[in-house]
Structure 1
């Protein structure tokens, strides 16, 4: 597979105290199946849709089993040189949480936060090149940085990755899109005090495609998850923001059910 443009989302995973519970939940909601846990790499377990790798789940690291684990999806952005990306993260006010860390011959990872506290990952591919399926039911399709400090995100991400930036016209929402290789790859939504619960961190919301948004939301609630927003229609698909029973937030979107005109975007 050809190398992805730098900064393109390429993988997603999440840590769960109850991995078997997470597997049951996402298996029901997104139709995922799961491979064997890799004991050499902390029982990291890949998820599959139609036999293609789409994400992974992992238990807490040794020493964290008894601690309260905040489950959250982590989006990884492609890099040809994880060490160089890590230096730019540090130089632009970000925090390096882990890495650069070689993961066997699979690749090299970095875990980081932007100056506003948004957690994300960096992945320099080796034999593991990332998503084997995208933009179809059961697979990753889009992600948005939801941040209380949009100015910090706007300065940070284009300094770390070679992003172009476009903004949505109008004053209704503070929304921008980061582009890599001339293609939109990541959204950025400014969040007000009423948009995120007190104490909840700014974060990257990862969207997975589904055949039917309303049916997926029903499965979320039936399996003990929560609905944070929606379902609602948009020009990009009918979507909802939800959370799993362990607190990890994500989105579901039916890309085939669209309503309205695509917003006008201008150079930021």
Structure 2
């Protein structure tokens, strides 16, 4: 397979103290099945939809703390060079570039406002085997209190062009690779509690957002926002039973015209 362009979202994983609980929850909500835990890689466990890899879950390492959270990985052909660009742009490298067997190489980084993300240089593992269909990854947004910092930082690390939506009621930008949208940037409003840190919100595709929201509730998750219908689909945001934030979207339920955008960079 041809290497995905630098900055393309290519993978998502999350750490859960209760791995079996996470597997049961996402299996119920998204129809995921799970492979064997890779003991040599900290019991890293891939999730599958229709037999194709869509994400992964992993337990914390002994003595490792922190709350559960989904991490989005962005493609790079040279993870060490990408890590240097992170530093040069004012971000921090939380996990130095490291090889993961024959699967590839990775790093974990943070933007100046605190948004954590991964960088993935593909080897045998090239990323999502399925996306943009029910049960798989569909979109992601940098959810931050400093969109100006994000809109400056990320294009210095990856070759994004930034376009801002023309709407005084929302602080939203789209990062594109060429003409293909890759990632969104959303300002955290005053209604977001101060204790909620900035993060990348990962969206998984569903066929019916309202029905999926009911599955989330029944499985012990919590609705945070929505469901809301937009020009891009009907979506809602949640927190799973272990505190990991995620969103669900039904693109087929989109209504209205896409908003106007202006070029930022």
TM-score normalised to structure 2 length:
0.98
Q: How far did residue 181 of structure 1 move?
A: 3.5
Residue of 138, 160, 163 corresponding to 2:160: 163
Q: Provide the rounded CA distance (Å) in 2 between the counterparts of 1:172 and 1:192.
A: 10
Q: What is the aligned partner in structure 2 of residue 142 from structure 1?
A: 139
Q: What is the aligned partner in structure 2 of residue 218 from structure 1?
A: 214
Matched, 1:128 2:125: yes
Deviations 1:95-145 (A, max 9, x none): 111020100010000101100000100000000000000100000000000
Q: Provide the rounded CA distance (Å) in 1 between the counterparts of 2:167 and 2:197.
A: 27
Q: Provide the rounded CA distance (Å) in 1 between the counterparts of 2:261 and 2:148.
A: 18
Q: How does 1:1-268 map to 2 (within 5 A)?
A: 1-64=1-64, 67=65, 69-194=66-191, 196-268=192-264
Deviations 1:142-193 (A, max 9, x none): 0000100111111100011111111111212111111113311000011123
SS of aligned partner of 1:256 = helix
Q: CA RMSD in A?
A: 0.9
Contact kept in structure 2, 1:208 and 1:251, CA below 8 Å? yes
TM-score normalised to structure 1 length:
0.97
Q: How far did residue 266 of structure 1 move?
A: 2.0
Deviations 1:202-242 (A, max 9, x none): 00000000111111100111111100101111111111001
SS of aligned partner of 1:115 = coil
SS of aligned partner of 1:241 = strand
Contact kept in structure 2, 1:10 and 1:130, CA below 8 Å? yes
Deviations 1:44-87 (A, max 9, x none): 000000100000000001222xx4x3000000000000000000
Structure 2, unpaired ranges of 5+: none
Deviating beyond 3 angstroms after TM superposition, the runs of 4 or more aligned structure 1 residues are: none
